[in-house]
């Protein structure tokens, strides 16, 4: 485990007490899990925790003046999307207050592994009274990180609504998958699923993805099968998509390999590529079967 040596005093971690994060799912709070199997892009993540800070003791151990400002900050970072944001900032007022940190992380902005950092910081600069005391705004005095792996039936790349009549895409199409870039590029920057906002059936299905109706489930199943087929076909056209290659986490290559493994469990890329050259339509039908379109065979 790597330790970071800061150039200023930091407090004893026992002076800060933090409860576990609680996640709201279907109206109920549950401890934040390591994996979230039910997540999709339409599900915003609502989390909260309680933090108690012995502010006077923190200031004393850090050689700060009695009136030095302190604040709890929460910052999230999604490895899959590469996006990060500060979601909360609460100033520490009383000597030993209990603070509630509550935030909502938009599901449309995250994927892959989500890291949530809780930080005790100096929100503003303070007079430099001691050469080893923290003084700059944003100085981190204490940090706690929690991680959540997002997975499930929802796609792990961006989805955007677009009016196809205002583009070169066929106006009657329901969706379109864009793929571009090298296999070592970030997946979130290489893939975009466009949903036609003018196609009422498809747009409504995506808007209801968190709680889909039977019709919505059929539409989403068709999209999932078509996206999987498109990704597999794109992967097989790439000469650098081979069995021996190791792809970095959250890269386009890693995503394509994951989809390939789901569609062709236990089979090699070489074997499927040869099959596709001989009978591409059969491979497309294999993907349809593996994707379980419309629920598969009863």
Q: Is it the case that residue 2 has pLDDT exceeding 70?
A: no
Q: pLDDT tens digits for 51-103?
A: 999 999 999 999 999 999 999 999 998 876 667 899 999 999 876 778 999 99
pTM: 0.59
> Are the C-beta atoms of residues 23 and 32 closer than 8 Å to each other?
yes
pLDDT for 70:
96
CA–CA dist 184, 189 (Å, integer) = 11
Tens digits of per-residue pLDDT, 173-204?
999 999 999 999 988 778 888 999 999 999 99
33 closest CA partner among 192, 158, 150, 126 = 150
Does CATH number 3.40.1010.10 belong to domain 13-150?
no
Higher pLDDT, 228 or 250: 228
Closest of 241, 298, 295 to residue 264, by C-alpha: 241
Q: How far apart are CA 231 and CA 234, in angstroms?
A: 5
Per-domain residue ranges of the chain? 13-150, 159-295
pLDDT tens column, 130-162: 889 999 999 999 999 999 887 654 445 678 889
- Is pLDDT above 60 for 297? no
């Amino acid at each position: 485990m790597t330790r970071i040596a800061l150039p200023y005093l930091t407090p004893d971690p026992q002076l800060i007490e933090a409860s576990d994060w609680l996640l709201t799912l279907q109206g109920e709070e549950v401890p934040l899990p390591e994996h979230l199997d039910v997540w999709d892009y339409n599900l915003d993540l609502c989390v909260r925790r309680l933090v108690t800070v012995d502010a006077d003791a923190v200031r004393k151990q850090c050689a700060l003046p009695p009136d030095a400002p302190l604040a709890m900050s929460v910052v999230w970072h999604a490895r899959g999307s590469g996006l990060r944001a500060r979601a909360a900032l609460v100033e520490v007022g009383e000597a030993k207050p209990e603070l509630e940190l509550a935030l909502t992380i938009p599901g449309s902005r995250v994927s892959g592994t989500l890291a949530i950092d809780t930080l005790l910081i100096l929100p503003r600069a303070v007079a430099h009274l001691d050469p080893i005391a923290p003084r700059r705004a944003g100085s981190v005095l204490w940090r706690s990180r929690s991680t959540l792996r997002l997975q499930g039936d929802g796609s792990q790349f961006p989805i955007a609504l677009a009016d196809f009549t205002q583009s070169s895409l066929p106006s009657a199409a329901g969706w379109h998958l864009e793929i571009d870039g090298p296999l070592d590029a970030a997946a979130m920057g290489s893939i975009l699923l466009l949903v036609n906002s003018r196609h009422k059936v498809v747009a409504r299905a995506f808007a209801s993805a968190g709680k889909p109706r039977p019709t919505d489930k059929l539409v989403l199943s068709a999209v999932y099968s078509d996206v999987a087929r498109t990704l597999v076909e794109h992967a097989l056209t790439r000469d650098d998509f081979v069995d021996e290659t190791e792809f970095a986490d959250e890269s386009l290559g890693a995503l394509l390999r994951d989809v390939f493994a789901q569609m062709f469990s236990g089979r090699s890329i070489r074997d499927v590529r040869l099959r596709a050259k001989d009978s591409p339509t059969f491979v497309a039908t294999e993907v349809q079967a593996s994707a379980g379109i419309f629920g598969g065979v009863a």
